[in-house]
């Protein structure tokens, strides 16, 4: 049986709030954020009626409370999808949402379903990462992993040890650029079009959550310089050069290419290839490197073929290590996170993978000559995930300038 082509028709997310009592989602349930995203995807694509959605897959790193009870099935019922719609929950820590998308895509490719919704949600205010986990004592007693593997910030400090040439000043510069790129993208209206406004109750009353709470547009190197290093005395990882703790949901509408044609829908992207790879848990930030090498091998593409790279910014140091590995331009590779990343926007764990994909979707729309995009991220406990998408919103031809640059590079 030949695998079917899988296309992404649309994607949307909530705004990303700060985790905790000061965040605008503090009194909002995680599953209600998921329902909002599902309903918005259907509202924006009226050709797809609720009874047509056959599968609903959602990632969540912490599957308990308002993120438990098989979120994919409960949110399908709450959102008004057909009782015939199947549902599932996925946990691959930070890549839970990414894995939900690639799982649903795989099901479509093999003919199990024609139409699916997939995404990720994380309410880190309600469910701090690993708060109720009970790791097997053998992990540490038998030294299967370093104690650092349980604390993500320590894994970032370990990367600094591996790459001493990556200074704190470099990570601060990367973080400042991320903030400024996001500020510019907000000013140009590029971020708000990805967000579905959601009316939520807060201690100040009812408000409309339609902008991310995390961005700090006035970030300067001077302001970042003296921030404390919570993971190591005299360390290099600070709250300024790392992603924040956030709440939010993001989802996409997937279907077979044939079904999109039948419904007269114009898909935004075609799935080219995806994969996941493992690394040592105590240096989990390296994950995108082997995953990306692996996905290039699967697809037959190289970094020269990629027009946009959406790399999740868990920590600036892992982004710089990725840039060095693939010889990207420092400090500001134009293809990399052109509208900023998780350091500015926030990182609600499972929600981040699908967010990378909808960034590609909008970047492709703004650049019709772009052909391929890469979404990649590191994963707690030592993994990486990479997905390549093809632009279906333009002619897919490289600009003459890029052709010349690629040719020169190959010489």
- Answer yes or no: are the C-beta atoms of 285 and 151 closer than 8 Å: no
Which phi and psi (to 5°) does residue 355 adopt?
Answer: -60, -40
H and E: helices and strands count for the chain: 13, 12
In angstroms, rounded to a whole number, what is the distance separating the alpha carbons of residues 5 and 131?
Answer: 40
Tokens 């009782």 — which residue? Answer: 83
Q: Which residues contact 83 (CB under 8 A, 6 or more apart)?
A: 77
Give yes or no: 347 in active site.
yes
160 token code pair: 């600094």
Give yes or no: 378 in active site.
yes
Which phi and psi (to 5°) does residue 172 adopt?
Answer: -65, -40
Of 359, 299, 373, 310, the closest CA to residue 336 belongs to 310
Q: Which residues contact 321 (CB under 8 A, 6 or more apart)?
A: 159, 162, 163, 166, 285, 286, 289
HSE (CB half, 13 Å, CA atoms) of 61?
30
User: What sign has the CA pseudo-torsion 295, 299, 304, 308?
Assistant: negative
The active-site residue, picked from 85, 250, 319, 378, is 378
The active-site residue, picked from 123, 160, 180, 347, is 347
Residue 10's beta-bridge partner residues?
A: 253
The active-site residue, picked from 85, 94, 250, 319, is 94
Q: Which residues contact 124 (CB under 8 A, 6 or more apart)?
A: 19, 245, 246, 247, 348, 349
Of 16, 33, 36, the closest CA to residue 24 belongs to 16
Give yes or no: 85 in active site.
no
In angstroms, rounded to a whole number, what is the distance separating the alpha carbons of residues 221 and 318?
Answer: 19
Which phi and psi (to 5°) does residue 277 adopt?
Answer: -145, 155
137 token code pair: 């004592």
- Answer yes or no: are the C-beta atoms of 94 and 379 closer than 8 Å: yes
Question: Which residues are the active-site residues?
Answer: 94, 347, 378
């Amino acid at each position: 049986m030949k695998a079917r082509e899988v296309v992404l028709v649309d994607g949307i997310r909530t705004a990303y709030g700060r985790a905790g009592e000061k965040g605008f989602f503090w009194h909002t349930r995680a599953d209600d954020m998921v329902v909002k995203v599902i309903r918005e995807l259907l509202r924006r694509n009226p050709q797809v009626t609720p009874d047509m959605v056959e599968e609903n897959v959602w990632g969540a790193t912490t599957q308990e409370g308002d993120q438990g009870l098989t979120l994919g099935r409960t949110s399908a019922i709450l959102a008004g999808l057909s009782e015939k719609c199947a549902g599932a929950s996925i946990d691959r820590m930070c890549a839970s949402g990414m894995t939900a998308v690639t799982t649903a895509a795989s099901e479509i490719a093999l003919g199990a379903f024609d139409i699916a919704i997939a995404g990720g949600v994380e309410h880190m205010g309600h469910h701090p990462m690993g708060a109720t986990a009970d790791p097997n004592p053998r992990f540490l007693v038998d030294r299967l992993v370093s104690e650092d593997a349980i604390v993500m910030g320590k894994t970032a400090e370990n990367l600094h040890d591996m790459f001493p040439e990556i200074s704190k000043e470099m990570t601060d510069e990367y973080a400042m650029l991320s903030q400024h790129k996001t500020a510019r993208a907000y000013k140009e209206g590029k971020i708000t079009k990805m967000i579905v406004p959601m009316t939520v109750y807060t201690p100040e009353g009812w408000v409309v959550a339609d902008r991310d709470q995390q961005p700090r547009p006035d970030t300067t190197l001077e302001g970042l310089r003296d921030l404390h290093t919570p993971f190591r005395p005299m360390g290099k990882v600070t709250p300024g050069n790392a992603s924040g703790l956030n709440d939010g949901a993001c989802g996409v509408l997937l279907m077979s290419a044939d079904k999109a044609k039948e419904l007269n829908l114009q898909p935004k992207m075609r799935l080219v290839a995806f994969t996941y790879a493992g690394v040592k848990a105590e240096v989990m930030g390296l994950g995108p490197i082997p995953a990306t090498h692996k996905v290039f091998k699967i697809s037959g593409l190289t970094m020269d073929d990629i027009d946009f790279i959406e790399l999740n910014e868990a920590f600036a140091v892992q982004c710089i290590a990725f840039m060095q590995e693939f010889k990207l331009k420092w400090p500001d590779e134009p293809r990399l996170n052109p509208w900023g990343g998780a350091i500015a926007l926030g990182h609600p764990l499972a929600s981040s993978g699908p967010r990378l994909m909808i960034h590609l979707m909008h970047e492709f729309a703004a650049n019709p000559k772009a052909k391929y995009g890469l979404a990649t991220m590191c994963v707690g406990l030592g993994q990486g995930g990479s997905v390549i998408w093809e632009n279906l919103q333009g002619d897919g031809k490289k600009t003459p300038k890029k052709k010349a640059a690629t040719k020169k590079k190959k010489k």
